[in-house]
Structure 1
Amino acid sequence: MDKHILTVSREFGSGGRSIGRAVAEQLHIPYYDKEVIRQVAQKTGFDEQFVAENGEYAPGKTTLSYIFKALGRPEALGRADAMDGLSTTDFLWVIQHQVIANLADHGPCVIVGCCSDFILKDRDDCLHTFIHASQQYRAQRILRLYGEGEKSPQQRLADKDGRRRANYKYFTGRDWGRCQNYHLSLDSGTLGEARCAELLASLLTAPGR
């Protein structure tokens, strides 16, 4: 089946977000990143910053049985009473699941992060990718983009990726960055962001192609 939807998972500092945006621009299809957070915040009533921050932390106790219960009640999603025993983080996951599935249903698009590769894993029209690069490349890139911080670039990379890894494991049961979870893994430090975007765009079937 043709691939219409691109999901982009990425190491912090690898340029995955920029690559995903470039693909969307080349193919003239929607690009979803912070839009996912915005819609989750809108549906739950939580502040967008709160949604973004909680989306990177994995709770210590799982309540996934409640999640599947809620997923079976789509009419309840988005209502405060849908929490029904869920932790805040798990409730946000339920809504995130619904938002991403709905975005994919609307047609060709690029979705960055948010466990979108797992949420859409049963769709045949998706191309799941992971963008990575050497620590040196990523450290230099975040210094250039974000400047110095209280922590060293290496510690910032480790902290951010550690949260993503734990969050992904908690909600999916899979190992973040493991090649078997994706159709394609690209080293942006070696290939360059522009080349990565070109390669990914060439693998998608977008409107008019």
Structure 2
Amino acid sequence: MEKYVITISRQFASLGRSIAQKMSENLEIEFYDRDIVEQTAKRMKQPISIISKEEENLHSKFFRRKYPLGMGAENMQEEIFNVQTNIIRDFANKESCIIVGRCGNSILKGNARVLNIFVYAPYEARLKNCTEVLKMDPKVAKKMIKEVDKARENYRIRFSKDVENDFDGYDIMIDSSRFGVEKTAEILCDIVKSNFL
């Protein structure tokens, strides 16, 4: 069977990662999220915790301290993105899979057998997911939604140069709060099957 790739971009607390995991089970293909961070850390010879914390952070305190004179945080973020680009392409060339985040849709643009999905949810639903599903304190949840959304938006603008607005680069946009994790995954799997299987 010919390979295909699904990319899933998502708003924070829209449960996009959980949906990707459920799709992975239903379609019996791998999904890559933390694996990308682990591979990046290995290739860059950095701790996973540092890569994880800094990959979307344009104002990295760690990298400012580590490279106070020469290589700045922006250059290091560029390096992280370049390494992750190669990792995502490696995964996509190896097997059918799901790539979560990291501008996968932009990196794999032009590939015929790629389906690009954006998972979103209204603010109130995401806040509820934070407190009920992710067990976060409401104040922390509100701060996280704001900060992570902003970081992801900045990351998308910086590294997806060909994307002009929030709708560019996606084949499907779906409100996870309307259907829930299981049903959203089921709907998306049906679309994948009708297109690629």
Query: TM (normalized to structure 2)?
Result: 0.84
Given that 2:6 and 2:98 are in contact with CA atoms closer than 8 Å, whether structure 1 keeps it comes out as: yes
Alignment-derived partner of residue 63 in structure 2: none
Given that 1:3 and 1:205 are in contact with CA atoms closer than 8 Å, whether structure 2 keeps it comes out as: no
Give yes or no for the alignment of 1:204 onto 2:177: no
Q: CA deviation at 1:150?
A: 8.0
Residues 127-166 of structure 1, C-alpha deviations (whole Å, 9 max, x = no match): 0000000111110111123334483433321111101101
Give the gaps of 5 or more residues in structure 2.
61-70
SS at match of 1:8: strand
Provide the aligned C-alpha RMSD in A.
2.5
Alignment-derived partner of residue 19 in structure 2: 19
SS at match of 2:119: strand
Alignment-derived partner of residue 189 in structure 1: 177
Give yes or no for the alignment of 1:142 onto 2:130: yes
Shift of the 160–194 alpha-carbon distance from structure 1 to 2, 3 Å rule, reads: same
Alignment-derived partner of residue 96 in structure 2: 108
For 2:139 and 2:56, locate their aligned partners in 1 and report how far apart those are by CA, in whole Å.
Answer: 19
Give the gaps of 5 or more residues in structure 1.
61-82
Give yes or no for the alignment of 1:28 onto 2:28: yes
The amino acid across from 2:171 in the alignment is H
Q: CA deviation at 1:182?
A: 0.2
Stretch of structure 1 that moved more, 107-116 or 51-60: 51-60
Query: TM (normalized to structure 1)?
Result: 0.79
Moved over 3 A (4+): 148-152, 174-177
Alignment-derived partner of residue 90 in structure 1: 78
Alignment-derived partner of residue 44 in structure 2: 44
Given that 2:127 and 2:138 are in contact with CA atoms closer than 8 Å, whether structure 1 keeps it comes out as: no
Q: Percent identity?
A: 25
Shift of the 20–148 alpha-carbon distance from structure 1 to 2, 3 Å rule, reads: closer
The amino acid across from 2:185 in the alignment is A
